[in-house]
Amino acid sequence: MDTMGIVGAGAFGTALALALSSRGREMHLYSDLPAVAQTINMLHLNPQFLPGIGLPLHCMGQDTLATAPDCKILFLSVPAQAIRSVCESLHRIPKTTPVIVCSKGIEASSGLCMGELAASLLPNPVLMLSGPSFAQEISRGLPTIVTLAGEENELLASLQESLETPAFRIEPCLDPIGVQVGGALKNMLAVGGGLVLGAGLGEDARAVLIARGFQEMQRIVQRLGGNPDTLLGMAGLGDVLLTCMSNTSRNTTFGIRVARREITVPLTPSAQGPLAEGALTAAGWPVFQKRIAPVETPILTAIHEALYANRSFAEVFAALLSHP
């Protein structure tokens, strides 16, 4: 059975390893924290990131990328702002190895989405895995459907056959632009939804923000050459509903806490709780916005300004209600 590797032993990477290992294949979980790799190997647990979930013996922790060239498929499940450095460290893997990017976001310095960034740094076939997929539910074997996006039908079909399990299903898609834009901006939209709730504006206002923000996402996908209808599937609407409406969403919770002034906005991952990728994506919004000009994005821009321009979100949102 082929070995597969997942760079990033956080909650999602660990849950993905567990799901894919159900077919008996050897999984290598790469962590930059030696203690995490050691605990996975000794106790078959990852209590720091996915507590209470046991891992099979053939899920192995690794604290270096030494075995990465042996993996037939490599997944990247690291924070979005770390994708560049991870890709630059993968120069030893065979050029034919598919690299599947699970990270969702926009690189703050370049304005590139994760698949675009990885493809600019690696000669390998780069694909995107996205969709509504909370780590806790995947790890419990609950039914999950995600989208796998790439540019080659034959490779997508082969990977779908290799990766699917009865509980972890995959929809192939030939629109990587639509999938990665959806994955990046739904996190930012969820932070905005949290800001609405935290400011006391209510559920009706959150629905307005989500609906209009979703329309902005579709216009952005079209501007970048993707298919706006891609966002009607798992990697768009499915992910938006889960992330924006769930009380366990890190991005929604983050927005609520910011609006209530319980935390300040971090520009990098910090000790203020689980990573909210939407906040870091919002930091790179001005660079990304230049790429998509002249698309109008009042909702997404308001979220950025509320986080990083010290504007009252309640006042910003009140003005948005009059926007056609």
Catalytic residues: 186
Between the alpha carbon of residue 305 and those of residues 156, 187, 279, 314, the distances in Å are: 39, 16, 11, 12
SS3 content of the chain, % helix, strand, coil (to 5): 50, 15, 35
Euclidean distance between CA atoms 283 and 187, whole angstroms: 12
Tell me, what DSSP letter sits at residue 236? Answer: I
- Structure tokens belonging to residue 270: 């910090």
- Structure tokens belonging to residue 83: 């994708």
3-state secondary structure of 298: helix
Between the alpha carbon of residue 319 and those of residues 48, 298, 316, the distances in Å are: 42, 10, 5
- Structure tokens belonging to residue 287: 């660079």
